[in-house]
Amino acid sequence: MSKSVQVHAPATVANLVCGFDVLGMALHRPDDVMTLTLKEEPGITIEHTDIYQLPTEPEKNVAGAALLAMLEELDHPPGFHLVTDKRIKPGSGLGSSAASSAGAVVAANELLGKPFSNEDLVRFAMNGEKVASGVKHADNIAPAIYGGITLIRSIFPLDIVQLSGPPLFVTVVHPQIEVRTADARQILRKEVQLKSAIKQWGNIAGLVAGLLKQDYALIGRSLEDVIIEPVRSILIPGFDDVKSQSREAGALGGGISGSGPSIFMLSEKESTANAVEQLMQDVYTKLGIDFKTYVTSISYEGVRVSPVTVHQP
């Protein structure tokens, strides 16, 4: 019998509006379910039980790329067989690629007796993000691995700060269109005006302070992005309506989740989060665009591991 573990890898919201590439949070749902089995013989094999037709070559699948980076640091690298039931649609803006990379390395670390720290795991998993979007960034990976809300102060060298915050409800709408992170990064301007930068760093600092002080009003005031959102929101039909109507309904604020097309809104009360879900549904029904919505909250656990027994043929 081979040794296996099952993990639930969470969706994540990167950027948290003003914190492009530096802030992110993990959600309770949706999540991917992955089963990793240790093999005696070297090599990585990948299987998907979902509908997304993702590549199964380890170098092209983000989970495979993350595992390959980990194996490079082992003296006697074993092999792995990975089975993924992907429930976070790729290109959703909900950290689909990060869930696969983070889930794979957390599972592998567990099977190997935990030789690596969480920071090591983030470092390995960022190789998956490089495959998905062409760049290493950790604002989905870090919250997926650590849980909760994380600040990535630096990626070279890695400096990850876990943030606490007050209870928050998160409403997400995922219009069923695909925005590839690589494309959504390509359209960004490479230079920023000083006056925009000043506004943005005021908001990032305000958001972090608001979370730590559990000050809902400060959190709400700071959920403003004057640099990325004006460019990317054009790719998302219904964005302006969802945002303005959610604020009117009492949400603290929100914006594009990761690189989109999903939109998230934060609320202090569950009843407000439910009202926001209803208005999101109304906006996309009117537009005739298929969508999924979730009312959820922040997962402070990150990737969840549970032992399983898998009988190999």
Ligand X SMILES: Nc1ncnc2c1ncn2[C@@H]1O[C@H](COP(=O)(O)OP(=O)(O)OP(=O)(O)O)[C@@H](O)[C@H]1O
- How is residue 299 written in tokens? 């997962």
Helix (H, G, I), strand (E, B) or coil at 311: coil
Residue 148 near ligand X by CB under 6 A:
no
Are 110 and 308 in contact by the 8 Å Cβ rule? The answer is no
- How is residue 168 written in tokens? 């928050």
Q: Which residues are catalytic?
A: 129, 181
Amino acid at 212: L
Q: Report how far residue 82's alpha carbon sits from residue 62's, in angstroms, rounded to the nearest whole number.
A: 12
Contacts of 112 (CB under 8 A, 6+ apart): 38, 74, 78
Among 87, 180, 185, 292, binds ligand HSE (CB under 6 A): 185
Are 236 and 256 in contact by the 8 Å Cβ rule? The answer is yes
| Helix (H) or strand (E) segment spanning residue 155 | strand 149-155
Whether residue 93 is annotated as binding a ligand: the answer is yes
Question: Residue 21 binds which entry of ligand HSE, ligand X, none, with Cβ cut-offs from 5 to 8 Å by kind?
Answer: ligand HSE
Question: Residue 54 binds which entry of ligand HSE, ligand X, none, with Cβ cut-offs from 5 to 8 Å by kind?
Answer: ligand X
Residues from 145 through 184 that contact ligand HSE (CB under 6 A): 181, 184
Contacts of 247 (CB under 8 A, 6+ apart): 253
Among 4, 35, 109, 140, binds ligand HSE (CB under 6 A): 140
Whether residue 257 is annotated as binding a ligand: the answer is no
Other CB atoms within 10 Å distance of the CB of residue 36: 28
Q: How far is the CB of 17 from ligand X (least distance, A)?
A: 14
Q: How far is the CB of 133 from ligand HSE (least distance, A)?
A: 7
Residues from 251 through 280 that contact ligand HSE (CB under 6 A): 258-259
Q: How far is the CB of 132 from ligand HSE (least distance, A)?
A: 8
Residues from 259 through 278 that contact ligand X (CB under 6 A): 259
Question: Residue 103 binds which entry of ligand HSE, ligand X, none, with Cβ cut-offs from 5 to 8 Å by kind?
Answer: none
- How is residue 197 written in tokens? 């930068």
Whether residue 262 is annotated as binding a ligand: the answer is no
| Size of interface with ligand HSE, in residues (CB under 6 A) | 12
Task: Sheet with 253-256: list strands edge to edge.
Answer: 253-256, 263-267, 169-175, 291-297
Whether residue 63 is annotated as binding a ligand: the answer is no
Query: Can you give the binding site for ligand X, defined by CB under 6 A?
Result: 14, 54-55, 61-63, 86, 90-98, 100, 132-133, 140, 180-181, 258-259
Residue numbers in the known binding site for ATP are 89-99
